Chains A and B, each alone.
Chain A
Amino acid sequence: MRFLHWLTRRSQEDAELDEELQFHLAEEARLRIGRGEAPDSARQSARRGFGNVLRTKEIAREAWTWSALDRLAADLHFSLRMLRKSPAFTALSVAALALGIGATTSVYSVVHSVLLRSLPFPQPERLVMVWETQPKTGKPNVVQTGNFLEWRRRNRSFDNMAAIEALPFNVEAGDEAVQVPGLLVTAGFFETLGVQPLLGHAIRPEDDTPNGAAVVVLSYGFWQRRFGGRPDAIGSKVFFGEQPAQVIGVMPPGFHLPTQPNIDAYAPLRIQPGQALRDGRNFSVVARLRPSVPLRDAGGEMRRIAAQTAQERPDINTGWSATVVPLLEQTVGKTRTTLLVVWGVAGIVLLIACANVANLLLMRAAARRREMNVRAALGAGRWRLLHQLLAESLLLALAGGVLGLLLAYWGVPAILRLLPTGFPLPRRDEIAVDQAALWFTAAVSLASGIFFGVLPAFEVDLGCLSDGLRYGGRQSTAGSRSLRSSLVVAEVALAMLLVIGAGLMLRSWTLLRHVDPGFRPDRLISFRMLLMTSSRDFPQILALRASSVREMLDRIRSLPGVEAASSIHMTPLSGQQSGTWYSRADRPPPPLAQGGGDVSVISDSYFRTMGIPLLEGREFDERDRSGSPPVAVINQTLARAAFPGENPIGKRMRVYWGPSGDPVEIVGVAADIHHNGLRTAPDPCLFLPHAQQPSGFLTLVVRTNGDAGVIAAVQKEIHQVNPAQGIAEIRPMESLVAADTAEPTLETSVLSIFGFLALGLASIGIYAVVSYSVEQRTREMGIRLALGAARQVILSGVLREGFVLALIGIGAGLVAALALTRYLATLLYTVRPTDPLIYASVTSVLVAAALAGCYFPARRATAVDPAVVLREE
């Protein structure tokens, strides 16, 4: 209603003003006629004496309060018309902006969801993880059971502290059995996180005592899948292995410890006091700081407690300390650097896009100089013209922003879907292009619009109106040319920086792709499980593990389509590995803090099955079983470290592993493999025979003839040996190798795409500036040609102009790259951030792009027909 009123009032005022002015002119003419002037000349001099009628109206109108809005509407309307009139310019600008804004918004939505938003718990900033730290390296390490008990008993810094251990849970479903990701937790776990179950209750202190009842708390997802979301699931039984466990609670949807996102069930972690001191390091520890205790003080207290435990139990704790890490930092980990680098790169792409649009606008402003000058001469105020230009750039920015937001809205979920399972992106299910992203886009679009809108506005120099009219808008001022040149230099420099970054990543990625994992992953299938045994007596459990694995392997090896089969307790490239101390038995034992490395428990013919070359001696076979002399195979790295210049075969080593303390005799040396990732150098590794050191962790590795039916056959054989045995995961080793490079692959593709965009935008920038300058100087060139200048001279002159700009940009980009690429160092594999090969080749790529950008407009310059130009004069 108010708007209608406003509209009618406006048109009424307009009409009244018109009538008033008409009356004024008529009255003045009448006065002059009365003095004796001729009617025609009287009317003319009345008009002259009045001044500029249009401008008067405009100024009078501006006296009314609503005219600011009015003016904005008019500006926007006019801008739309101008933008529609030059579709190529508009499309190019909007596309560049959409790409720049889309890229920054996409990365921002990930940055916001992963790095900035707090974790979904009450007072999440007080949640921490507590680790032991390794001697010398100080690297965080899982916690020894006895140490955890001491920490929990002695600390004054935490409200609550809980130990957790991830373990597959074996679940029977009809006559099938599956294994789901499970988490053993001590009673304080849910209380520490501050989350109540959706149904039932959490694990209580009486549940994690050695004789507590077998209970389980389910995740929301598992409850839905397994019980169809029925509330009567509480109190029912789930068979975990042989023992039924009672469901006592269901967690709310979306609940998980962010470092353990896929857990389906939680069961009590029972610590046997007698066993606590003998246990290895297995637990992660999550804790909640007391409200009054700063993180630093908690860290100090934990180090003091660790120093005490080191004194009390030097055999296991010498050199070890402790550290406290905020849960968010723990969750985000290395991803922080990656995300910030990618965000920065996206921001630079946006900057280049803005510089590009500013340049295009500048050129258009120059081309529209005549229009502006005419409007100024007709009485448009300087501010009016500036507003007009700003309205145009804001419209462009808005269009780019909307498209960019759509790009992010569709693109981010699409890219997330493309990521393989197990891709190391924390808080993945929390990532959303949401309201925060919307605000971010709005802010970024507005800022860009103002940035590239203000620059061309300087171009409207009303000081020399008459010049503009006289030269018909063909001249550009020196000031705006240097502005354009600096924009191009900046564009090229930024593009150079990004392309060098992308080049480094590409080279690193190529090298990584050529890393030999050390085994042949083709046609190799892994079956991961936790071995289920029906006994509760430890020696008997060990015997059952050994016999069931032997039986499984015997059956699988006799299947048609199976070329070889064996087992290892922790799958290579799965991110899991065991470690312990070991040292030569023929030397005095080194301090416990030194020596040791990885341990793998494997079955017969493991190296043959995996395709790992055996360098010396033999691998495990029928001779190595329980009761026979304990043996070991070592890898090349361990052989070099422990037996430099000696033959290790027949030597003995002390190993801190398993119940018996007898030294093992080395029977073979195997080539290294990249167990802990292609990017990490192989660690020393000691292999023990499963028959002598039966482990509950088991991955069967089966080399097939490529027949997909073999997988089902293998599953059937496992079921035959133990019907209650579920399988946690079946995965081709090739997919594990691919997953290990998935992260660098994504980083490299993102940075390459951004680098490519930057290169394209910068080339367009050079092209636009050179062709504009050629257009401006058509007359000059025509005249020079007419006066007999050689076309070659003119061509090289134009080429030089653009090329010098490009070279300055390339030089600046090189300096920037030298200064900034060190932030890439953590993402690079073996490539140094200053790799001269990359710098040289990227320089030549940019030089080529710059030449192309200059050449085409320069050729047009030489095609000028002098006759046409002279006629125009």
Chain B
Amino acid sequence: MEDRIELLHGTLEMLILRTLRAGPQHGHGIGVAIRATSQEVLQVEHGSLYPALHRLRKEGLIEGEWKLSENKQRARYYRLTAKGRKQLTAEESRWNRMVEAIARVLRPA
């Protein structure tokens, strides 16, 4: 448990977009995927997923569509839009540059 890290402010949206690049997913699935791919390090309070999803939807980065889940239940699946894809690319490169810069500061060569 002590290894878990709370998300940096503003990164949740990027992680959602990244998760959705793999294909449409509902809210719960997104949360599970983030936890799993980060090997349980990144802790996402599920409650905070939905406000983020609604913000992204409002900005037109993702779209929602009601479909049946594997258990034949109605669920809203989210899908990246073209705009979202572009945004994700921009965010990723910005993020990588920042991580490199921070790493250089922390471990000067």
Contacts and interface: CB of A to CB of B under 8 A. Distances in A.
A615 to B, nearest CB: 96
B55 A16 contact: no
A165 B74 CA distance: 94
B71 A51 contact: no
B19 to A, nearest CB: 15
Contact of B50 (A30, A31, A56): A56
A63 B54 contact: yes
A51 B47 contact: yes
Interface in B28-77: 28-29, 31-32, 45-48, 50-51, 53-55, 57-58, 66, 69, 71, 73-76
Nearest to A46: B46
A55 interface: yes
A18 to B, nearest CB: 11
Contacts, number: 67
B73 A49 contact: no
B54 A23 contact: no
Interface in A61-94: 62-65
Nearest to B32: A31
Contact of B28 (A19, A24, A64): A24
Interface in A21-63: 21, 23-24, 26-28, 30-31, 49-53, 55-56, 59-60, 62-63
A50 B47 CA distance: 5
A21 B54 CA distance: 13
Contacts of B69: 23, 27
Nearest to A23: B75
Given A59-B51, A63-B58, A16 B45 contact: no
B85 interface: no
Interface in B1-50: 26-29, 31-32, 45-48, 50
Contact of A50 (B46, B51, B55): B46
A59 B55 CA distance: 10
Contact of B45 (A23, A31, A50, A64): A50
A24 B54 CA distance: 15
Secondary structure call for the B interface: helix
A16 B32 CA distance: 21
A56 B28 contact: no
Contact of B51 (A19, A24, A63): A63
A20 B45 contact: no
B3 to A, nearest CB: 17
B82 to A, nearest CB: 21
A88 to B, nearest CB: 41
A64 to B, nearest CB: 7
Contacts of B27: 20, 23-24
A26 B48 contact: no
Contacts of B31: 24
B58 A28 contact: no
B47 A19 contact: no
Contact of A23 (B28, B51, B53): B28
A644 to B, nearest CB: 95
Nearest to A62: B51
Contacts of B48: 51, 56
Minimum-distance CB pairs A-B, first 8:
A51-B47, A63-B54, A27-B28, A59-B51, A56-B47, A60-B54, A50-B46, A24-B28
29 contacts: A16-B66, A16-B76, A17-B50, A19-B74, A20-B76, A23-B26, A23-B75, A23-B76, A24-B27, A24-B46, A24-B50, A27-B26, A27-B73, A27-B75, A28-B46, A50-B45, A50-B47, A51-B45, A51-B48, A52-B47, A53-B47, A56-B48, A56-B50, A59-B51, A60-B50, A60-B51, A60-B53, A63-B51, A63-B58
Given A55-B47, A63-B58, 15 more contacts: A17-B50, A20-B50, A21-B50, A23-B75, A23-B76, A27-B28, A27-B29, A27-B69, A31-B32, A50-B45, A50-B47, A51-B48, A52-B47, A60-B50, A60-B51
